[in-house]
Amino acid sequence: MKVIIAEKPSVAREIAAIVGAKEKQEGYIQGNGYAVTWALGHLVSLAMPEEYGAVGFNREHLPITPEPFKLIVRQVKADKGYKTDTGAVKQLSIIKKLFEQCDSIIVATDAGREGELIFRYIYHYLKCNKPFNRLWINSLTDKAIREGLANLKNGNEYDNLYLAAKARSEADWLVGINASQALSVAAGYGTYSLGRVQTPTLMMICNRYQENKGFTPQTYVQMLLTLKHNDSLLFTALSCEKFNTLAEADPISERIYNGGMAKVKQVEEKPMTEQAPLLYDLTALQKEANKRFGYTAQDTLTIAQTLYEKKFITYPRTGSRYIPQDVFAEIPDLIRTLSNHPVFGSQATTLLEVPLNNRSVDDSKVTDHHALLITDNKTSELSDKEKEIYTLIIARLLEAFSSACQKSVTTITFDAREYEFIAKSTTIKNLGWRGILQSSDEKTEDGEEQATKLPPLQQGDECEIQSLELLEKQTKPKPIHTESSLLSAMESAGKELENEEERQAMKESGIGTPATRAAIIETLFARDYIRRDKKSLLPTEKGLSVYNVVKSKKIADIQMTGMWENALSKIENGEMSADTFGKGITVYASQVTEELLNTSITVADKSTCCCPKCGKPDMLFFDKVVKCRNVECPVTVFRERSGKQLSDKHITELLTKQKTGTIKGFKSKAGKTFDAALAFDEQFNVVFLFPDKKKR
């Protein structure tokens, strides 16, 4: 018997249908010589510090550097600390039984770094030594699965991928655990979270926020002429010179206006080619979805993953924007499936009549997976959000293989009383790829809408000044990060790169990976380090406090984090030893720990209340919780309780008197309101106290 192990039950069902396994068992599907099971994500993970004897947050334990790392069954949060996930234990026992009974294993977890790690951790934890092959596919269509099963790869071919994943996992543990504990110990109260990629990402958000808020705008004035040549339509020209004040510009503008005419000094017409965009990788899709629809990076990833599991798109967690030659050969058939599309049908049909643009075709730039494509399966039952993301991918497919957009840019320089003015116009000669979404709006460098047409002028022609307007403007700061701009910054390790080619070149030293960046951003929200204001990402008071403490420390070094990410890519490609990387990270984690242990942090209001359990002074009042400053003390009071937001007065009364007076306005799970006092029980948990003295 052969065992096939997928990452999710839904994927296992698709593969089981292909191999003829139809008998549903608990935790797997059996039949035709196969047993198809699933991992339910990370069933096995690296052990927490307690497994190495480092209980609690203590200075003497740091840095914690396990040698070797231990693997344990997945843990889940409990009332006090963590406990073993019973569901994971159960599924692992099923996998173990199947591994013991089988002749060989087919690995069908997601074809990427994390998918490989999920299987290998299970394989090593169960001490399995059965041979295994790898199913490596770009989509979940029946055709792709069949072809993949017919061309299984020897599992050893993916050893470097596993080593890179293992190195990433251990590096994140070493830096995250040690840095978080070190800062918490240095603070003396509260618990703080730092991470190898999480913290540099917070730095980028805070840096941009501080730069934006600290920006002092400079006022300047420009003159705008409205001109007319013979009986032609009116058009405008903007002064090249900028003036500091209206008072400075006013006499000059009056002299120019009274002159009545502006003379053509130079006419320049330049052809311009705007290349078709590359296909989407996950990050590019996330950026576009954030700009157009305001979707978070996690939203887009979740939707794309669903579309993938429904067999409508190829593997979404890709970092490549290219496809290989053999896939390019299939693109005409893929475009042909869109010929009856209600929005893009005519564009698809037209595109098939001309040679396809091959800008997105490059075998050498395809990593584990090629760029995002649709599959040839017809869609059905899509939610509105799924339709929007699917439509983006269709549009980009058609854009990428369309011709370049050809333009002609006309620039006319005028002289008026020895002051120069510029008028610009862009004429589209061939829409090319821009015709797919008709997104051909053009703007000047100053952001002003350009004139759609200028009259046919020659050097020496004179135009009549119809009006002159003084425009008072201000210099603008770089905008606060949105998820779209943050993803770009993560992709290029914080470097401000507008050019697409430069961004692509910097990808190797970006921070995080396309598959992990959404989770990193969501972690910052979960830690209460950042918040959303419409599309903008703003640091919280807690986030800024952490930023101010660590911004000059090694853990906040964005470029160094990019170098580590590049090193992981080299391990994956067999160009670097995982052991060498591990030794470097261990030294780095030790340096980070030492730096943080010698610092201090304040992110909460201290009160005069003493802890009712351990007697420590200065209970800490956070936005969402009030905690004892002693990190080993469990006393915690959450501000929100049964739909009621507790005030500082309520909590202070509870801490000092062990109970409160009757508080009105709590809500039960059934939606009914009730009144009750709050009190501590024997274990210092907060409970309700009703008038009849019964606790609930």
123 is catalytic: no
- Looking up tokens 């910097």 gives 506
Residue 74 in contact with residue 43, Cβ under 8 Å? yes
Of 155, 159, 77, 91, nearest to 122 by C-alpha is 91
**Cα–Cα distance measured from residue 391 to residue 344, given in angstroms and rounded to the nearest whole number:** 9
**Cα–Cα distance measured from residue 18 to residue 12, given in angstroms and rounded to the nearest whole number:** 10
Token pair in block for residue 642: 């049964």
Residue 105 in contact with residue 156, Cβ under 8 Å? no
CA 553 to chain centre: 24
Residues facing 2 on adjacent strands: 34, 104
**Cα–Cα distance measured from residue 253 to residue 269, given in angstroms and rounded to the nearest whole number:** 28
- The C-alpha angle with vertex 477 and arms to 475 and 482, in degrees rounded to 5, equals 140
3-state secondary structure string across 563-595? HHHHHHHHHHCCCCCHHHHHHHHHHHHHHHHHH
**Can the peptide bond before residue 539 be classed as cis, meaning omega within 30 degrees of 0?**
no
Give 3-state DSSP helix, strand, coil % of the chain, rounded to 5.
Answer: 40, 20, 40
**Which distant-in-sequence residues (6+ apart) come within 8 Å of 440 by Cβ?**
405, 428, 431, 434
Segment (H or E) for 5: strand 2-6
Q: How many residues does the chain have?
A: 696
What b/e readout covers 431-465, taking b as 16+ CB neighbours within 10 angstroms? bbbbbbbeeeeeeeeeeeebbeebbebeeebbbeb
Of 523, 518, 506, nearest to 569 by C-alpha is 506
Burial class (CB in 10 A: 0-12, 13-18, 19+), 427: middle
**Cα–Cα distance measured from residue 4 to residue 20, given in angstroms and rounded to the nearest whole number:** 12
**Cα–Cα distance measured from residue 464 to residue 230, given in angstroms and rounded to the nearest whole number:** 8
Report residue 301: phi and psi, to 5°.
-60, -45
Computed over its alpha carbons, how large is the radius of gyration of the chain? 31
Of these residues, 315, 529, 547, 588, which one is catalytic?
315
- DSSP-assigned letter for residue 695: B
SS3 31: strand
**Which distant-in-sequence residues (6+ apart) come within 8 Å of 417 by Cβ?**
252, 255, 256, 259
**Cα–Cα distance measured from residue 185 to residue 33, given in angstroms and rounded to the nearest whole number:** 56
- DSSP-assigned letter for residue 137: -
Token pair in block for residue 363: 């075998």
Segment (H or E) for 500: helix 500-506
Of 519, 604, 489, nearest to 195 by C-alpha is 519
Residues identified as active-site: 315
